[in-house]
Amino acid sequence: MTDRLFDAERAEAALPMLRELLPRVRESRRALIESSARISEAVQADGGGVAGSEWFAAQQSLRADLTLLADEGILLRDPETGLVDFPSEHEGRRVFLCWRLGEDTVAWFHEERAGFSNRKPL
């Protein structure tokens, strides 16, 4: 992961990619969870079979997407809601610009040791 800092404009530029990627991350994660349960049941009979193939495909997709986020310096906080943080600075201190899938713009930030519930408008 790089130690990049984002301003609101740079974070906004990442939104089209995030709007495509985050639903895929959510679905890959769900597929992993669901296929893991099926594998546990099927492994006794046939070594995992089709469920094992589904798990592997979901795992590869999820790994690729998470690697892309890490390479961009974007922190995935909640894959279910599509919550991400962008490392930034505000008034001379380290903060995170905060955005969640479904929001129109990057309009919030929170302190480095705070979270979503403590976010403030930019």
pLDDT digits (tens, 9 = 90+) for 51-84: 567 778 888 999 999 999 999 999 999 999 999 9
The predicted structure's pLDDT at residue 120: 94
Q: Which residues pair with 2 in a beta bridge?
A: none
What's the pLDDT score for residue 2? 47
Strand-pair partners of 75:
85
Over residues 1-41, the pLDDT tens digits come to 446 899 999 999 999 999 999 999 999 999 888 887 777 66
The structure tokens listed for 104 are 């129109």
8 Å CB contact between 119 and 110: yes
Q: In angstroms, rounded to a whole number, what is the distance separating the alpha carbons of residues 43 and 40?
A: 6
- pTM of the full structure: 0.83
- pLDDT confidence of residue 36: 76
